Amino acid sequence: MYEPIPQGMAMREGRGMGTVETDLYALGVTILVLMAGRNPVADLKDEEILRAKITQSSYQALAADYRLPLQVLEVLRGLLSDDPAQRWNMESLELWLAGRRLSPIQTKPALRAQRPFSIKGIEVFNVRELAHLIGYV
């Protein structure tokens, strides 16, 4: 739950040591858990969480059921962005903490196939989910 999609897709041994960027992502998840008052995906298995992040986006998969204050919404969207180029870095976080508002990040859904790919009865509609399913099944 606390790792971005690429690290979550990798085998545990191949995830590496982590970086400041992955730490900032984990900070975003931590803030979300604290604001929600509980783990929003406690009833899901790791694979189900990852699949939800891939199909919906990390932010939508983790925060969809909560009405969060606008002040926190901006930082969560920035820290939980699935696009590493759009994800907030330390500078963005420091600007936000200093009161400067950044342009909100809108998550773009993955391109969706018109018909699903089916592997062992599991249907997928986007490339990232297909790549993960091939490695998982």
pLDDT tens-digit series, residues 63-77? 877 888 888 888 999
Phi, psi angle pair for 84, to nearest 5°: -55, -30
Using the predicted structure, report yes or no on whether residue 104 has a pLDDT greater than 80: no
The Cα-based distances of 33 to 47, 76, 86, 106, 110 in angstroms read 19, 11, 22, 21, 25
| Structure-block tokens of residue 39 | 């783990």
Task: Encode pLDDT of 79-103 as tens digits.
Answer: 999 988 889 999 999 999 998 877 6
